[in-house]
Amino acid sequence: MLPTLLLATQISQLGLQNVPLHILYGVIVTHGLLFGMSYGVKNGIFMGMTNPAVGATQFTAFMAMSNLAISMANFWQGNVAEQFDYATVLYLDALLVVFPLLLIPFLRNREENPQPILA
C-alpha cells in the first residue's frame, strides 16, 4: 500500500510524465518485492486452512479464485484508469488493501487432529 500511495501522490502533484525515474523505478521494485512476499504468505495461509483429506482440491480452488481476483482487479483498474486517471486507480487500490487486512484476525488454521474419514 505504501509504494502505491507514494506513486499516486507523485502523479497527483507532478503529473504522470514528470514523475522522477528513480522514484518510479523504486516504487516498481518495492511493489514487486512486497507483492511477491505477500503472494507467498497468502499461499502459506491457504495451505494452513485446507482440510488434509481434500487439500489438493481445496488448495487448487483457492489458487483459482486468487487468479480470478487478480484478473478482475486488473480489469477494473484498467477501466478506472481510462475513465479518470492513473492516480485515482492507485488511491483506490491502496484503499481496497485495507479490507483484506481487516479479515486477517478472523482466519483460522485447520484442526491439528482432524477426525478420521470413514470409508
Task: Write down the pLDDT at residue 112.
Answer: 64
pTM summary value:
0.73
Model confidence at 48, pLDDT cuts 50, 70, 90, reads confident
User: What are the phi and psi torsion angles at 116 (to 5°)?
Assistant: -65, 145
* Cα angle for residues 13, 28, 97 (degrees, 5° grid): 80
Residue 116 has what DSSP assignment? P
For the segment 50-84, what is each residue's pLDDT rounded down to a tens digit?
Answer: 888 888 898 899 989 989 998 999 999 999 999 99
pLDDT at 40 over 60: yes
Please enumerate in sequence order all residues whose Cβ is within 8 A of that of 49, keeping only pairs 6 or more positions apart, or say none: 62, 107, 108, 109, 110
Task: Write down the pLDDT at residue 14.
Answer: 94
